[in-house]
Amino acid sequence: MALRHIVTVPEPVLRRKAKPVTKFDKKLQTLIDDMIETMRDAPGVGLAAPQVNISEQLIVVEYSKEEEEDGIEEKPEKPKKLYVMINPEITKTSEEKVIGVEGCLSIPGIQGEVERFEAIQVKGLNRFGKPQKLKVGGWMARIFQHEIDHLNGVLFTDLAVRLWKFQNEEEHEL
């Protein structure tokens, strides 16, 4: 496994529609492992292949519902769940939408409020080409929508109702 360079705006690959993955070979498995390591090192909760300069429909997401609970100290941290999804497609959305704060590893120093569906259903393939379907809600739904947008050349700044620069690491953590 190796860390990959995360490209930032205005890198053209971030604005291209990514190509579907058709080969499930050793090269793909290496890319997946590298993306997981890169996401964790960043640190981030999701990463799309275009963010590491690969125009293919592949995302990795790692998240724990505990993270939504504002870091309650007494609870032992639940293990994060790792998702690898190839050629993902949102097949259903809730009627309800919510506004939440987002940032992006490819747009350092900027955060914004983005309206997203509260819950979605996603279908795609796992790392071995087997079909998978997920129903996710809350922040997990937000992460999946954000990463799938990357595969279509859409950045959170395109959808934001408000944007701002954060001044320091403490503000970024919020």
Query: Which residues does the annotation mark as catalytic?
Result: 147
Report CA dihedral (62, 142, 118, 96) to the nearest 10 degrees.
-170
Could you list the residue range(s) of the whole structural domain that residue 95 is in?
Answer: 12-69+80-173
Rounded Cα distance between 145 and 170, Å, is 26
State pTM to two decimals. 0.89
Establish if 88 belongs to a structural domain. Answer: yes
Mean pLDDT, the chain, integer: 91
Q: Is 167 helix (H, G, I), strand (E, B) or coil?
A: coil
Contact 119, 93 (CB under 8 A): yes
At 37, which CATH number? 3.90.45.10
- Per the structure block, which two tokens stand in for 17? 């529609």
Task: Provide the 10 A C-beta neighbour count for residue 141.
Answer: 24
Q: Is the pLDDT of residue 147 over 80?
A: yes
* 1 in any annotated domain: no
For the segment 11-70, what is each residue's pLDDT rounded down to a tens digit? 999 999 999 999 999 999 999 999 999 999 999 999 999 999 999 999 999 998 654 444
- State how many domains the chain has: 1
Q: Is residue 4 part of a domain?
A: no
Say if 125 falls within a structural domain: yes
Q: Hunting for tokens 């799938």 — which residue is that?
A: 148
Residue 109 belongs to some domain of the structure = yes
